């Protein structure tokens, strides 16, 4: 690229010098027109015209001669000038035709540039201004251009080096900060973040890193809380069983207490088994090993079964449960998964609804989804607790001696299973004392048809309900 630029520069410098020579020749001819005209009118002497020629030589730095129309030397020049060399010179012949060109010839072995222009008196040529300059002048012009090119190239190189160093530093500094933060997180400092001061791609990487770090920190906090809560929930039934076993082994209990303690141990074993099964289901969901079922499940019939399973809890608390469902509600699911969702939602409502309260459970189908909504008249949920209800082991009643039994995993399980089926679950409440509404949206495969023994959905309006029972 530099060599190409140098060749272009050489060509440009020579052209500039040639143009300058032609311009100088034209100016010299114009300048000498007046003194020569006066000389011809005998207003000036030959010596005075020669002085004008000498002054122009000093001004232009070139050798100037004034030739006659026949090409012979009239004024100026060196004493040893060969007169004949100008008679047939190309620049002289061009000047006689009112043209200005330049020619290059060797004089005493050295290249010299020549140019000539006619001096006119009206239409008559009264003389020829003839200029010559050694080619060293052109070479000097080329050298000047080369020096300018070199300085420009050097300046550009230095600028490019400075810019590359600046860009390199601007890239490596944030990368080093990211590296330091990443190593700190690897060493256990999960609070480490990078300071972001730019809005380019590097800034985007920094923001992504901070989001990742926040996510990792949150995951670790949740994991620690999960381990702490799980150990407590596992320790509670184990402690109860150990105490009961110690009393039984003492041999000092009467038959009534033996029976009661045995029943309590059995209940704690059931509770422990259910807790382990819940944790196992959550683990499978977290590791994406919870397989989606392909069974055709009758949601209405399943709801009836769940209602009967919890009949004893309803009876103890004297709670009225009204279940409303469309006549036909087949959905694609694993029976145990949908049962888990239904049972947890209804059991949750029964536990948190006071004695004598009411629960309404509706099952509808809209826009390709089965919508299960449980509305209770229970204690309700405060606005600050609502966003946390799906956290594992989260309890609105945070005391260790809770009034309501449970592990705090029910809603987490419901959310994990529902989202596995591309559904969603939401909870709303108007506050403490105003009850709670839990809604599940479960996708329904459109190609699933009702079994022959059931009425099809076309026989019942989508908004119609068939009461399953009032208890």
- CATH assignment at residue 55: 3.30.450.20
**In contact, 361 and 323? CB cutoff 8 Å:** yes
Tokens 């919508």 belong to 371
Instruction: Look at residue 217 and tell me if it is in a domain.
Output: yes
- What pLDDT score was predicted for residue 403? 52
CB 302 within 8 A of CB 338: yes
107 plus 89 within the same structural domain: yes
Do residues 304 and 422 share a domain?
Answer: yes
Q: Do residues 30 and 95 both lie within one domain?
A: yes
In tens, the pLDDT along 403-427 reads: 555 567 788 888 888 988 889 999 9
Q: Which of 227, 253, 286 is the endpoint of a domain?
A: 286
Among candidate residues 114, 142, 170, the one where a domain is terminated: 142
The number of residues in the chain equals 471
How far from each other are the two terminal CA atoms of the chain, in whole angstroms?
94
Q: CATH code at 366?
A: 3.30.565.10
Buried b (16+ CB within 10 A) or exposed e, 10-22: eeebbeebbeebb
Q: Is the separation of the CB atoms in 130 and 91 below 8 Å?
A: yes
Q: Decide if 61 is inside a domain.
A: yes
Residue 35 lies in a domain: yes
Residues 229 and 311 occupy one common structural domain: no
What are the C-alpha distances in Å from 203 to residues 161, 172, 196, 207, 216? 24, 13, 6, 6, 20
pLDDT for the residue numbered 407? 66
Cβ-Cβ contacts under 8 Å for 209 (sequence gap 6 or more): 178, 181, 182, 194
- Domain shared by 271 and 304, yes or no: no
Q: Among the three residues 238, 253, 286, which one is the final residue of a domain in this structure?
A: 286
Same domain, 304 and 449: yes
pLDDT at 351: 86
Report d(CA 333, CA 341) in Å as an integer: 11
CB distance 386 to 429 below 8 Å: yes
pLDDT at 172 (0 to 100): 78
The CATH number assigned to the domain holding 249 equals 1.10.287.130
Low-confidence ranges of the chain (pLDDT < 50): 79-80, 399-402, 446-471
Q: For residues 442 and 332, what is the distance between their CA atoms, to the nearest angstrom?
A: 9
Same domain, yes or no: 443 and 382 = yes
Residues 6+ apart with CB under 8 A from 359: 319, 320, 321, 322, 346, 349, 350, 353, 374, 375, 376, 377
Residue 157 in any domain: the answer is no
Residue 185 included in any domain: no
Q: How far apart are CA 421 and CA 424, in angstroms?
A: 9
307 and 371 belong to one structural domain: yes
Number of domains in the chain: 3
Exposed, middle or buried, 353 (CB in 10 Å: 0-12/13-18/19+)?
buried
Q: What is the structure's pLDDT at 398? A: 54
pLDDT of residue 141: 63
What pLDDT is recorded for position 10? 56
Strand-pair category, 320-325 with 124-134: unpaired
For residues 124 and 231, membership in a common domain is answered with no
Return d(Cα 362, Cα 322) in angstroms, integer.
Answer: 8
Looking at residue 426, its pLDDT comes to: 92
Same domain, yes or no, for 433 and 331? yes
| Structural domain boundaries enclosing 218 | 201-286
Does residue 165 lie within any of the structural domains?
Answer: no
Q: Do residues 420 and 302 share a domain?
A: yes
Contact 422, 254 (CB under 8 A): no
Answering whether pTM is above 0.75, one says no
Neighbours of 229 (CB within 10 A): 18
Same structural domain, 114 and 257? no
Q: Is 246 within a domain?
A: yes
In a domain, 359, yes or no: yes
DSSP alpha helix (H) spans, 289-426: 299-309, 311-317, 335-352, 410-420
Instruction: Check the CA dihedral 313-315-319-320 and report its sign.
Output: positive
């Amino acid at each position: 690229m530099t060599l190409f630029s140098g060749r272009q520069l050489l060509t440009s410098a020579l052209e500039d010098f040639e143009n300058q020579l032609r311009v100088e020749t034209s100016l010299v001819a114009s300048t000498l027109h007046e003194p020569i005209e006066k000389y011809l009118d005998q207003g000036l002497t030959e010596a005075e015209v020669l002085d004008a020629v000498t002054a122009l030589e000093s001004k232009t730095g070139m050798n100037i001669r004034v030739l006659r129309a026949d090409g012979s030397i009239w004024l100026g020049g060196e004493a040893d000038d060969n007169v004949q060399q100008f008679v047939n010179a190309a620049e002289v012949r061009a000047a006689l035709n009112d043209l200005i060109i330049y020619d290059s010839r060797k004089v005493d072995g050295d290249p010299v540039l020549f140019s000539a222009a006619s001096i006119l008196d009206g239409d008559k040529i009264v003389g020829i201004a003839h200029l010559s300059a050694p080619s060293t002048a052109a070479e000097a012009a080329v050298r000047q251009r080369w020096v300018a090119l070199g300085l420009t190239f050097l300046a550009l190189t230095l600028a490019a080096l400075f810019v590359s160093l600046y860009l390199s530093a601007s890239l490596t500094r944030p990368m080093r900060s990211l590296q330091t933060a990443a190593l700190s997180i690897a060493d256990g400092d999960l609070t480490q973040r990078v300071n972001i001061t730019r809005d380019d791609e590097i800034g985007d990487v920094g923001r992504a890193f901070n989001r990742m770090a926040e996510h990792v920190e949150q995951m670790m906090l949740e994991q620690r809380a999960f381990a702490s809560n799980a150990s407590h929930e596992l320790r509670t039934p184990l402690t109860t069983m150990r105490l009961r076993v110690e009393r039984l082994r003492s041999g000092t209990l009467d038959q009534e207490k033996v029976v009661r303690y045995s029943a309590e141990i059995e209940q704690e074993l059931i509770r422990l088994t259910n807790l382990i099964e819940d944790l196992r289901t959550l683990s499978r969901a977290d590791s994406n090993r919870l397989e989606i079922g392909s069974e055709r499940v009758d949601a209405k019939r399943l709801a009836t079964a769940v209602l009967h399973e919890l009949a004893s809890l309803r009876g103890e608390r004297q709670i009225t449960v009204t279940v409303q469902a469309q006549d036909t509600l087949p959905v694609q699911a694993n029976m145990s998964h949908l049962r888990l969702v239904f049972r947890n939602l209804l059991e949750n409502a029964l536990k948190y609804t006071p004695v004598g309260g009411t629960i309404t459970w509706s099952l509808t189908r809209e826009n390709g989804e089965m919508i299960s909504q449980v509305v209770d008249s229970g204690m309700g949920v405060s606005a600050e607790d609502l966003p946390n209800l799906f956290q594992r082991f989260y309890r609105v009643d945070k005391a260790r001696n809770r009034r309501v039994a449970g592990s705090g995993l029910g809603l987490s399980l419901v959310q994990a299973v529902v989202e596995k089926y591309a559904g969603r679950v939401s909870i709303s409440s108007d506050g403490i004392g105003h009850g709670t509404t839990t809604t599940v949206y479960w996708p329904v495969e459109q190609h699933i048809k009702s079994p022959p023994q059931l009425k099809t959905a076309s026989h019942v309006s989508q908004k119609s309900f068939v009461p399953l029972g009032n208890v």
